[in-house]
Amino acid sequence: MPPKKGADLAKAAKLADKDNLARAETEILSLQKLLEIRSHEALEAKRSEKMWRERMEAFTKTLEQHKEDTLDITADMTRQYKGPTAKRVNELEEERRVLKQTIEERNAVISSLEDEKEKIKRASEAEIQMYEHKVKEMQVEFAQMLRDTLDRMHDRLSKNAGITADSY
């Protein structure tokens, strides 16, 4: 007795479904790997941002220390200026000039540190914006890949099952 055509078709459909399932699982695994890679890149971007922020804080602390030093020097100059005798006025004037020069030098250093801090801040913000933009682009790409994959899987399943797109 010859085998039934319906049974052969059912077996063929089951084999095709198993093949499609295996392909779908493989695609899902590859997409999960891609997601893992993108997540790692985002984590690295956040680490870089944290490093830049810590560096900026260190520069801010250095700037504050320089300001305190300037205030200490100014306080010392004031105290020394008020207490000397007439004999030491010339010595104190010379010391005042040296200290004033030191303050100007430190102010120049503070100014250059502030400029450097601003440059670093702008660079950090630009880098943060770049990474945020990159993450958004990757999210859009990933969403599109998932949509395309699901559409292809639906088309394959529809073709294999004999279902039309209108009945979905």
Q: How confident is the model over 4-60, as pLDDT tens digits?
A: 566 677 777 777 888 888 898 999 999 999 999 999 998 998 999 999 999 989 989
Give the whole-number percent of the chain exceeding pLDDT 70: 88
On the question of pLDDT at 168 being above 60, the answer is no
- The pLDDT score that the predictor gives to residue 84 is 54
Give CA–CA dist 36/30, Å, rounded.
Answer: 10
pLDDT (0 to 100) of residue 57: 92
pLDDT of 126: 95
Token output for 81: 């200026």
Confidence (pLDDT) at 47: 93
pTM of the full predicted structure? Answer: 0.33
Q: CA–CA separation, 25 vs 2, rounded Å?
A: 36
